[in-house]
């Protein structure tokens, strides 16, 4: 296969067309309201989606009801193997790739408007008949959703005081012909800090939302503090992954920039002191399926984006994902792995072998740390590593510690360690009353009287490592190493 340079969604698709089993399509008309996600649930959603589901290929829908010239791709990153292909990295080393990228950032650049594919077609909000719901084939995951959602919009804005930019992904619901609601997880997003600064001054915050971009940008945008504090532009991580700067372009209607090779760009402003009920159009009380596997409650009031324009490529491709799918696991989990690697390596170099943000936690709630104990004084450092991870990442709820001979990416191997190298009364560490994540329904006062507020949890460490002095008694059975090529193994025909 000829090597294809990946620098946007289209080149990523062209790459996958040449890899067996990684991309499928359908030309049958599909309704974006529930049906599209209902199909992909069986094809390749995975993650915390209700079974039956599986990890499978990405899928392109070529015939979207009500949208003549648009396509929708879903599941592009819903396989760790596929993420590795698209980032040119072994799947189990992705955390290390991103860690190196964070340490060697390459800042984005601005290119001329006439060179930006994302502005080939322009729709102004002042145009007669302008309606974002007719321009964007944004799906609903389920029939209960508060409305069509943009699930993979790269939201870019700048600190109104310093001018420093930041890109993140948010829950964006299409509320009207020129309005979106924007959900912020309390206290964890830099764009929310920018919005509050602007609002305190009575000013609108210009924002661009780029949809359908280079997968490296989507992965990089999911980094969070403390790895990427306020002032750190995550687009520079994507630049480092590709070893060239991300190209941006000035918006046409607001004082902001967007990703130049995006399929769609929404230009708008976060309106100061305006709020909207998330399910105002459906009154279901539901928002959309979220990464823990449950449908999130509709927020009673959310900030509003007033859309000024939508620009897009000719024959644009809308990109979307299912909230609880393996796609979220990879986008949220791999940056978390990189961040844990960076933090633990600084504190205790050479002890951490690898990290896996497990799909059962949606890429956020659970991490498996593979630890190497080389000398007697390494005993106990595995728990120190777990404490570092839990203290740095508020959303992390559970850490499982395993030895270097256990594959953290193999759940059966991890459960084997839990059963043969763990005793509940001495190897479980509870840390109650710690701020975690409000989307976990068990983290609420209704679940237990011991929980004082929604989003507070008992964080837990399962130490499934062998005590250093007993390592000789826990050696796995040794098998003869062989050269499989010698045996010319074939299927019966």
Q: 257, 156 in Cβ contact below 8 A?
A: yes
Cα separation of 403 and 373, whole Å?
A: 8
Q: 236, 108 in Cβ contact below 8 A?
A: yes
Q: 357, 366 in Cβ contact below 8 A?
A: yes
Cα separation of 153 and 170, whole Å?
A: 7
Tokens representing 121 are: 């077609």
Q: Which residues pair with 462 in a beta bridge?
A: 400, 428
Cα separation of 416 and 229, whole Å?
A: 38
Residue in this structure with the two tokens 């402003």, named with its chain if needed: 269
Cα separation of 225 and 229, whole Å?
A: 5
Cα separation of 149 and 98, whole Å?
A: 28
Q: How many CA atoms lie within 13 A of 412 on its CB side?
A: 0
CA–CA distance from 297 to each of 175, 255, 301, 354 (Å)? Answer: 16, 33, 12, 35
CB atoms within 10 A of CB 21: 11
CB atoms within 10 A of CB 422: 18
Element housing 200 (H / E): helix 190-200
Task: Please name the residues in contact with 366: beta carbons below 8 A apart, sequence gap of 6 or more.
Answer: 357, 358, 360, 396, 397, 398, 399, 400
CA–CA distance from 363 to each of 57, 123, 337 (Å)? Answer: 19, 36, 9
Q: Which residues pair with 378 in a beta bridge?
A: none
Q: 79, 56 in Cβ contact below 8 A?
A: yes
Element housing 121 (H / E): strand 121-124
How far from chain centre, in Å, is Cα 229? 18
In the chain, the N- to C-terminal Cα span, in Å, equals 28
Cα separation of 211 and 206, whole Å?
A: 17
Does residue 290 carry a catalytic annotation? yes
Q: Which one is catalytic: 199, 224, 256, 290?
A: 290
CB atoms within 10 A of CB 336: 27
Task: Please name the residues in contact with 213: beta carbons below 8 A apart, sequence gap of 6 or more.
Answer: 8, 9, 154, 259, 261, 262, 263, 319
User: Would you please indicate which residues are annotated as catalytic (active-site) residues?
Assistant: 290
């Amino acid at each position: 296969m000829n090597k294809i340079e990946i620098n946007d969604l289209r080149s990523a698709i062209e790459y996958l067309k040449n890899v067996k089993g990684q991309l499928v399509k359908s030309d049958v008309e599909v309704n974006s309201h529930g049906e599209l996600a209902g199909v992909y649930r069986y094809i390749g959603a995975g993650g915390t989606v209700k079974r039956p589901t599986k990890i499978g290929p990405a899928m392109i829908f070529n015939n979207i009801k009500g949208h003549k010239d648009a396509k929708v791709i879903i599941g592009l990153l819903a396989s760790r193997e596929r993420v590795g292909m698209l980032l040119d990295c072994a799947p189990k080393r992705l955390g290390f790739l991103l860690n190196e990228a964070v340490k060697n950032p390459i800042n984005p650049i601005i290119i001329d408007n006439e060179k930006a594919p994302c502005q080939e077609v322009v729709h102004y909000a002042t145009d007669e008949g302008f309606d974002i719901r007719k321009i964007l084939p944004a799906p609903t995951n389920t029939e209960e959703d508060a409305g069509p959602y943009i699930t993979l919009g790269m939201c870019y804005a700048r600190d109104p005081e310093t001018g420093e930019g930041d890109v993140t992904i948010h829950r964006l619901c299409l509320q009207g012909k020129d309005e979106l609601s924007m959900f912020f997880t309390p206290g964890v997003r830099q764009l929310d800090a920018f919005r509050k600064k602007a609002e305190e001054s009575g000013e609108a915050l210009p924002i661009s939302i780029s949809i359908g971009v280079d997968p490296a940008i989507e992965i990089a945008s999911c980094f969070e503090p403390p790895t990427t504090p306020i002032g750190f532009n995550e687009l520079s991580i994507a630049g480092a992954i590709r070893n060239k700067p991300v190209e941006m372009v000035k918006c046409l209607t607001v004082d902001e920039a967007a990703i130049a090779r995006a399929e769609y760009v929404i230009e708008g402003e976060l309106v100061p002191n305006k709020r909207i009920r998330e399910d105002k159009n459906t009154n279901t009380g539901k928002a959309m399926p979220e990464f823990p596997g449950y449908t999130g409650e509709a927020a009673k009031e959310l900030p509003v984006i007033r859309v000024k324009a939508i620009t897009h490529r000719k024959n644009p491709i809308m990109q979307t994902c299912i909230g609880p799918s393996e796609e979220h696991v990879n986008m949220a989990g791999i940056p978390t792995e990189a961040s844990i690697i960076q933090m633990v390596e600084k504190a205790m170099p050479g002890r951490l072998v690898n990290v896996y943000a497990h799909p059962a936690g949606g890429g956020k709630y659970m991490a498996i740390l593979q630890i190497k104990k080389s000398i007697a004084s390494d005993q106990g450092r595995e728990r120190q590593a777990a404490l570092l991870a839990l203290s740095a990442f508020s959303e992390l709820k559970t850490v499982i510690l395993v030895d270097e001979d256990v594959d953290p990416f193999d759940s059966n191997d991890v459960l084997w360690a839990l059963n043969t190298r763990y005793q509940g009364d001495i190897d479980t560490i509870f840390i109650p009353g710690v701020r975690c994540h409000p989307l976990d329904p068990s983290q609420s006062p209704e679940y237990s009287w011991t929980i004082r507020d929604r989003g507070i949890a008992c964080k837990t460490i399962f130490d499934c490592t062998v005590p250093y002095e007993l390592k000789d008694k826990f050696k796995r059975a040794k098998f003869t190493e062989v050269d499989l090529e010698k045996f010319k193994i074939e299927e019966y025909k």
